[in-house]
Chain A
Amino acid sequence: LEARLEQAAMLKRVVDAIKDLVQDCNFDCNDSGIALQAMDNSHVALVSMMLKSESFSPFRCDRNIALGINLTSLTKVLRAAQGDDILTLKAEDAPDVVNLTFESPESDRLSEYDIKLMDIDQEHLGIPDTEYAATITLPSSEFSRITRDLSALSESVAIECTKEGVKFTCTGDIGNGSVSLRQHTNVENDAKSVDISLTEPVALTFSLKYLVNFCKAAGLSDRVRLCLSNEVPLLVEYGLSNNSYLRFYLAPKIGD
């Protein structure tokens, strides 16, 4: 494997966004790119990352390899990279280590690190293609604000999507709160628009602790997509350039 990223910031942000949910992960490398799928310890949330080969320049992967990496270790090493450094990942066939180099675009500084790999026995997760009843695309900063504000009051949020719009509601010891958003097109800045596409009304409840955690990915994309259907996990997607993405899935809370 040899994969060169123009900006180390992308990988730094991706790892930062997932490291509190999952610890030891396989980075599955093949000629289409680098993928990661892992459930959190409690088995109610799932992270799915896809960095397509087009996101790297150049990208070369001659044989499929799984790089078992501890994300705490990776975070320590990535801390040594500046956001605008050029980052290159390298691994041999049947590797013991993954090699990372950080090149400063302005100076002749080159740093190089090896991270020891681990054997991770991870079951393959067959994430199904799902037709969702409701899809909401909104500014990622808005979603972060809603989850942060409501998490101050309660552990859970009810998300209700109808043709009127989407409503986030919480109930806690000190009182209750809600935020409603309507479909809205911002003609000056499309990134600020709220798009809602609905085939049937949906109402589901989720743990805010996880949603707040997912919002650590907000720096990766101006927009976030929420996909909901009754009785299936919520999909929270941050799209990256070149069709790469970071997706989070969270099972709804169900009453009796």
Chain B
Amino acid sequence: KIFQQQIFKFFLDG
């Protein structure tokens, strides 16, 4: 789940 959260963070932060 931490990986998934990180993928989202990278996606949203560009």
Contact = CB atoms under 8 A, between A and B. Distances in A.
Question: Mostly helix, strand, loop or mixed at chain A's interface?
Answer: loop
A42 interface: yes
A44 B11 contact: no
Contacts of A253: 3-4
A175 interface: no
A43 B11 contact: no
A39 B12 CA distance: 11
A42 B12 contact: no
Contacts of B4: 44, 251-254
Contacts, number: 39
Interface string A34-61: 0000010011101000000000000000
Given A44-B1, A251-B11, 18 more contacts: A42-B5, A43-B5, A46-B8, A125-B12, A126-B12, A126-B14, A128-B11, A128-B12, A128-B14, A232-B7, A249-B8, A251-B4, A251-B7, A251-B8, A252-B4, A252-B7, A254-B3, A254-B7
26 contacts: A42-B1, A43-B5, A43-B8, A44-B1, A44-B4, A44-B5, A44-B8, A46-B8, A125-B12, A126-B13, A128-B12, A231-B7, A232-B7, A232-B11, A233-B7, A249-B8, A249-B11, A251-B3, A251-B4, A251-B5, A251-B11, A252-B4, A252-B7, A253-B3, A253-B4, A254-B4
